[in-house]
Amino acid sequence: MPGFSQITPAQALRLIGTPDAPTVFDVRTDEDVAALPQVIPTSRRLAHTMLDALTGPPGRAIVVCTKGRKLSEGA
């Protein structure tokens, strides 16, 4: 079961493409993308080290990586 700041893949997929869709950031490494090149529709690729540099009003976001561990949870 996901924690307070987590979302299941099924929940995320239901939101994508809707007016309430959060921004999806794909923080996978180049090696992970090469091994699994599929992307989530509307996702924006970004190095996990660049998340702090984002500007603009805060909003809902989903941060994804290959395994859902250190890169996305550490973001």
Give 31-58 as a DSSP string.
HHHHHS----TT-EE--GGGGGG--SS-
What was the pLDDT predicted at 4? Answer: 56
User: What CA dihedral angle connects 52, 53, 56 and 59, to 10 degrees?
Assistant: -30
What was the pLDDT predicted at 15? Answer: 92
Look at 6-20, 44-58, 59-73 and tell me which has the smallest mean pLDDT: 59-73
What was the pLDDT predicted at 48? Answer: 85
In sequence order, the β-bridge partners of residue 25 are: 44, 63
Report yes or no on 69 lying in a domain.
Answer: yes
- Condensed to tens digits (0 to 9), the pLDDT of residues 15-52 reads 988 998 999 999 999 999 999 999 988 899 999 888 88
pTM for the model stands at 0.78
Report yes or no on 31 lying in a domain.
Answer: yes
Report yes or no on 50 lying in a domain.
Answer: yes
Q: How many structural domains are present in the chain?
A: 1
> What residues contact residue 36 under an 8 Å CB cut-off, 6+ apart?
28, 66
